[in-house]
Every structure is written in C-alpha cells, then in structure tokens.
Amino acid sequence: MSTATMTAPTEKKSHSLALKAGLLLVGIHIFMGLLTLVWLPYDPTAMAGGRLEGPSLLHLLGTDRLGRDLFTQMMIGSRIALIVGIGAVAIGAVIGVTLGLLAAFASKWLDDALAATLDILIAFPTLLIAMLVVAASDTANLWSAIIALGIALSAIVARLTRILAKRVLVMDYITAARTSGSSWPKIVAIHILPNIWPTLSVNFALQFGLAVIAEASLSYLGLGAPPPNASWGRILQEAQGTVYTAPLGAIAPGIALVSLAIGVNLLADGLRDTIDPTRRAR
C-alpha cells in the first residue's frame, strides 16, 4: 500500500475531528447564549449570595464581588459574544464584499488606490481601529462596539474579496458570459460570488472569533458593553482586583474566551477542507 493511500484516510479523519470538535465547542456557547433568552439561574443584577462565595450547588461558579451569581454572568457573556460576533461579521461582510468587488471591477488606477488604502487599514491592529471608532462615538455601548468592529474587519474582507474576484474574472467562462450578453450584476451573482463564497465563509468564521476577542478587550478597557451587560471582558476586569482571593472570577471568562476562539478556529479549519473543492480534491 502506497504512502499516499495510507495518509489520505488519516488526514480526512483529522479534518473530520477538527470539524466535530469545533462544532462541539461553538455549539456549547450557542446553546448557553440561546438559553439565556428563556431561562437564567438568577437575576443578573440581583445580589443572590454573599460576596466572593466559592462554587456550590446554589452557585456553580460562586459569586462576584457584589454577590451576583457568576454562572449567570457567564451565560449572559455567551449571548453577548454571539451578538457581537454575528453583528460584526455581518457588517464587515457587507462593507468588505462590496468594496472588494468594486476594486476588482475598477480601472487600474482606482484599483491600485483602493488596494493601497486597504493595505494601510490592515496594517493597523483591528482593536486599535475599533477603539478609535468607539472613542469617536458619543457613548460606549454594545452597538457602537459592534459597528466599530465591523468597520475594522471590513478591510480584511475587502482585500480577500478583491483578490478572489480578480482570479475569477480572468476565467474563460466569464469571457463567455460577457460575450453572450450577460450584465455585470448577473455575472457577479451567478459566477463570481458562488466561486469565492467557500473561501469567504471560512474567513468569516475566523473573523467571528477575532470579533469576540476584540469586544472582550474593549469591555476590559471600558469601551465595550456597559453594565449591567455581563461581557466576558468586563467580568475579567472586575475580577482582577480579587484574583488571589477568588480566582475563579478571572479564570472562568478566560476559559470561555479561549474555548470559543479555539472552537471557531477548528470549525473554520474543518469547513475549509469540507467546502473548498480544490483542497477536497487534493
């Protein structure tokens, strides 16, 4: 049996495991976030117990410095993470895909100008751009953070869309479609978007994880969701003063962030090998 024959099933199995592990980790957070819409152990603003209590049957993760149930706060953090991730990716996708397609169809000088602008924006950290956008708004809140992150992520999406669209535009079937009289909007809808979507969808999954971590960083700095919204970043910021007496308050949001980031990356890796026809063929 050849080496290629032996390694192919192993690679396929590893990709399948990555996809399943990613679905499991992300699915747990999705379940917790959706569960908050119908049930919570305690009122998130109520002092349900004593200050800095340890884990117990009444409080699975203990309480924070104000006596609020930490498990309830973590559940709400999952919901906020989902809202931020989906909202930021949606905004970044709309802006980025539109700009990327315009750059791909633009004249050479305009394409070069857009490409240079995108490169400059990408050179700045996503968190820094988001901080500038939030600081420019009147008040720091959850929606301003989502819009800021969406704008920050759109440059990466636009650059990737431009590269992928320009590759598709040189294909023979695009020339044939133009010769047959198809309009550019029809070509975009029928030929370009379906061909670049697999790669874009994987990138969107990665952007989701990046948005969640960036929002937690903004909340930690006081630029994210204000109280009583229990963002993981805010929980971590509030727990830093009691990390030696009640370490679970800092450990729990850290584990949540890491598990969601790893889950999204595993999910993106599995999706890439599943829906990308070129990688699947190899």
- CATH (domain of 131): 1.10.3720.10
Q: What is the dihedral of CA 93, 83, 253, 55, to 10 degrees?
A: -160
Per-residue model confidence (pLDDT) at position 68: 93
Q: What are the tokens at 4?
A: 């290629």
* Cα angle 244-247-249, degrees, rounded to a multiple of 5: 130
* Cα angle 177-180-185, degrees, rounded to a multiple of 5: 50
Long-range contacts of the stretch 16-19 (C-beta < 8 A, 24+): 16/270, 18/266, 18/269, 18/270, 18/273, 19/266, 19/267, 19/269, 19/270, 19/271, 19/273, 19/274
Q: State the Cα–Cα distance between residues 195 and 191, nearest whole angstrom.
A: 6
Number of domains observed in the structure of the chain:
1
Give domain status of residue 55, yes or no.
no
Which residues of the chain are modeled with pLDDT < 70?
A: 1-15, 138-139, 276-282
Closest listed residue to residue 76, CA positions, set 267, 243, 214, 225: 225
Give domain status of residue 20, yes or no.
no
Cβ atoms of 44 and 235 closer than 8 Å: no
Give domain status of residue 74, yes or no.
yes
Give domain status of residue 13, yes or no.
no
Closest listed residue to residue 225, CA positions, set 146, 138, 135, 128: 146
Query: What domain range includes position 126?
Result: 62-281
Per-residue model confidence (pLDDT) at position 59: 92
Region of 154 (left: φ > 0; alpha: ψ -120 to 50; beta: rest) is alpha
Long-range contacts of the stretch 35-44 (C-beta < 8 A, 24+): 35/75, 36/75, 36/76, 36/78, 36/79, 37/79, 40/72, 40/75, 40/76, 41/69, 41/71, 41/72, 41/75, 42/68, 42/69, 42/72, 43/72, 44/68, 44/69, 44/72, 44/73, 44/76, 44/228, 44/230
Q: E-strand spans in the chain?
A: none
Q: What are the tokens at 164?
A: 């992928």
Give domain status of residue 12, yes or no.
no
